[in-house]
Amino acid sequence: MNSREFAVVGNNLYEFDAAGIKTTHGEVEYDEKPATICSNGDGGNELFITSGGKGYIFDLGTSVLTEITALSGKATMGDTLDGYFLCLDASTSTLYTSDLLDGLTWTTGTNFAQRSLQPDRWLAMKVSGRYIWLFGEQTTEAWYDTGASFPFAPHPSGVLNYGIAAPWSACLMGSDLVWLASDRSGRRCVLRTSGFTPGVISTFPLEGVLQGYDWVADAIGDVYSMDGHTFYLLHIDRLGVTWAWDAATQMWHERGTWLHEENRYLSWRPRYYAYAFGQHRMLDGLGMPGDYIASGRGSGTVTQSGTTNAILLRLDATIPTDVDGAFYRRLRRAPAINADNEDVFYSSFEVEMEATGHSFSQASFTMVEVPAEDPH
């Protein structure tokens, strides 16, 4: 935002410039959950950062990072609306607000709200437009700015009978929200809101797969757009799986980073998308020594300068290689064709492939000839 890009990697707050060179701005608490970063704009000139259960303010003018002692152990995730910073404490289902345009001042004894409309605890928070969406395990509600002394209250639209199965799966897609949802019946599905109306975008086969997973609570969502397509990504690293939904085609597909030495996929490594300096940029979900601008689809330019695992990736559809410099491995399956339980024979087939503009595009096929005397 405003020609500046920030990221939390491990326990460090970094700023990246257009060339991907990083500046370290201090340390934050670290746990294995994602951090959040938001800004109150020119009025406050501050970043609010949550990481490891703690909250921090970074002054964009002085480059000073300050821990907010009032939020110690309370900062699950943060966001901003109408000049206020917002902090959710998921352990107590409490929403805290800062003073207006002052992220260093939090009166947690009075400037807070606790969930009362439904018994399930708030697990996640996301601001969309002029509304704060607060997600429980089974239900969700939207809050808005009433202008009262404590500015936020539940919106009259009521309670949505879907909660969130993975607190870090909620993402903005344009003016809509997308997340991995759950309800009282135990259903798992992916929802996309239109205003206050949710719509299920997951298919029955995908929901069957999601239902079969023994653990999805640490799934991470992401959204980015490229070449006229907007994608919602759902990374389930514990299972090595990434599901992706294309808003243009309304279709799902799987993604992965191919481990050549192990002959298997793991979940797609690029994540935490930001559009900055005219580039599609993400961090490396795996991490490795050194920091560099690489390409989500190519090795890019390496500028080794440390061992902090702060790896910035640049996505570019014209580069055919993955984050490790190896070629992408793609698997395509044709639609099922049947003839009422009769054998189906193919005398020929045709494959169309869009090249990337480089000489690296190639395809491999295996043909098996069936002897005439044994057509099965």
Nearest to 220 by CA among 244, 247, 249: 244
Q: What is the pLDDT of residue 135?
A: 98
Kindly report, residue by residue over 208-246, the tens digit of the pLDDT. 999 999 999 999 999 999 999 999 999 999 899 999 999
For the ranges 124-128, 160-164, 319-323, the lowest mean pLDDT is seen at 319-323
Beta bridge partners of 131: 128
**Confidence grade of residue 352 (pLDDT, cut at 50, 70, 90):** confident
Q: Average pLDDT of 244-261?
A: 93
Q: Is 253 helix (H, G, I), strand (E, B) or coil?
A: strand
Handedness of CA 318, 321, 327, 331 (dihedral sign): negative
Host H or E run for residue 135: strand 131-136
pLDDT of residue 365 exceeding 70? no
CB-based contact 84:98 (threshold 8 Å)? yes
Kindly report, residue by residue over 286-302, the tens digit of the pLDDT. 744 333 344 443 333 33
Q: Average pLDDT of 182-203?
A: 96
Residue that wins the pLDDT comparison between 128 and 334: 128
Q: What whole-number distance in Å separates Cα of residue 48 and Cα of residue 40?
A: 8
Q: What whole-number distance in Å separates Cα of residue 64 and Cα of residue 261?
A: 44
Q: What is the pLDDT of residue 344?
A: 80
Q: What is the pLDDT of residue 300?
A: 35
Measure CA of the first residue to CA of the last residue in the chain; give whole Å: 61
Exposure string of 12-33, with b = 16+ CB inside 10 Å and e = fewer, is: bbbbbeeebebeebbebbeeeb
Kindly report, residue by residue over 79-118, the tens digit of the pLDDT. 999 999 999 999 999 999 999 999 999 999 999 999 999 9
pTM for the model: 0.88
Q: Is 194 helix (H, G, I), strand (E, B) or coil?
A: strand
Nearest to 125 by CA among 174, 159, 75, 173: 75
SS percent in the chain: helix, strand, coil, step 5: 5, 45, 50
Nearest to 359 by CA among 331, 320, 330, 329: 320
Which of 194-198, 300-304, 309-313 is predicted most confidently?
Answer: 194-198
Architecture of the domain delimited by 1-114: 7 Propeller (2.130)
CB-based contact 332:303 (threshold 8 Å)? no
The encoded tokens of residue 41 equal 């704009």
Q: What whole-number distance in Å separates Cα of residue 144 and Cα of residue 79?
A: 14
CB-based contact 300:292 (threshold 8 Å)? yes
Where do the structural domains in the chain lie, given as residue ranges? Answer: 1-114, 116-255
